[in-house]
């Protein structure tokens, strides 16, 4: 089997999403770029508890299946477009975390009001425009919301996408975004979350953007 280590990493990430309650049932999907024009991605509608490295599908950047017996995830276009659009993106995780999804349903970006969080994801997690699940329109909307620097975007009325340099960062950021959404929601009930001072927000955003540029090899 080609790319056994990479397939195993995709399965482990997917299983951890499930075990940490960041997805439910067979929802969500995980991908990892294994060559310039080859991406390993989770199959459609397969239980995480029993998913095996052999279930992982290899697709090219056009979405054609190169290897695998199952159907690739219905959201494959999001993964491929995000990887193709950004040199620093080699792994993508789409999830349905509880609190981040609440913001997605309310069409509200998740503001980065915790200083450490700004360094990890920039000023906010923006909302990508709505399109039907599984369409290329949705993939294009997500990539537009990610832009040149974004690490994550909310899919309105749906869930969350994180696009990063590797699977560990994708998983960690998915969990951090959901935790932040929970904290912001709690602060709202205490009278509203107070933004960071502009000077601090600008400094942390600059650090964040530098890290993204570094990952792109632009520094």
Return the active site residues: 75
Q: Which is nearer to Zn ion, 97 or 159 (CB)?
A: 159
**Nearest to 14, CA basis, from 38, 40, 36:** 40
Q: Which is nearer to Zn ion, 1 or 132 (CB)?
A: 132
Query: Shortest gap between Cβ of 10 and Zn ion (angstroms)?
Result: 17
Rule CB under 5 A: which of 157-196 touch Zn ion? 159
Query: Shortest gap between Cβ of 133 and Zn ion (angstroms)?
Result: 6
What letter would DSSP give residue 60?
-
Query: Shortest gap between Cβ of 86 and Zn ion (angstroms)?
Result: 21
Residue in the shown chain whose Cβ atom is closest to Zn ion: 159
Pick the stretch among 97-105, 135-143, 153-161, 206-214 that binds Zn ion (CB under 5 A): 153-161
* 122 backbone φψ class: left, alpha, beta (φ>0; ψ -120 to 50): left
Residues in CB range of 124: below 8 A, 6 or more apart: 109, 110, 111, 112
Please list the residues that pair with 145 across neighbouring strands. Answer: none
User: Does residue 131 contact residue 138 with C-beta atoms inside 8 Å?
Assistant: yes
Q: Which is nearer to Zn ion, 114 or 173 (CB)?
A: 173
Query: Shortest gap between Cβ of 161 and Zn ion (angstroms)?
Result: 9
Count residues contacting Zn ion (CB under 5 A)? 1
Residue 13 and residue 48: Cα distance in Å, rounded? 10
- What does the binding site for Zn ion look like in residue numbers (CB under 5 A)? 159
């Amino acid at each position: 089997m080609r790319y056994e280590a990479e397939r195993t990493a995709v399965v482990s990430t997917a299983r951890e999403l499930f075990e940490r309650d960041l997805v439910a049932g067979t929802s969500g999907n995980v991908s990892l770029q294994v060559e310039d024009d080859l991406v390993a991605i989770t199959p459609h509608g397969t239980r995480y508890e029993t998913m095996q490295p052999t279930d992982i599908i290899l697709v090219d950047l056009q979405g054609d299946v190169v290897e695998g017996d199952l159907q690739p995830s219905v959201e494959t276009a999001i993964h491929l477009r995000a990887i193709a659009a950004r040199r620093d993106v080699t792994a993508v995780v789409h999830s349905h975390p509880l609190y981040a999804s609440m913001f997605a349903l309310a069409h509200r970006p998740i503001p980065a009001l915790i200083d450490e969080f700004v360094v990890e994801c920039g000023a906010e997690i923006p909302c990508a425009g709505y399109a039907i699940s599984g369409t290329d329109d949705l993939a294009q909307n997500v990539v537009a919301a990610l832009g040149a620097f974004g690490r994550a975007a909310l899919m309105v009325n749906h869930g969350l996408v994180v696009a990063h340099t590797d699977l560990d960062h994708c998983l960690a950021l998915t969990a951090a975004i959901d935790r932040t959404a929970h904290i912001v929601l709690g602060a709202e009930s205490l009278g509203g979350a107070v933004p960071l001072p502009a000077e601090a927000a600008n400094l942390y955003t600059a650090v964040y953007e530098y890290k993204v540029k570094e990952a792109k090899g632009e520094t």
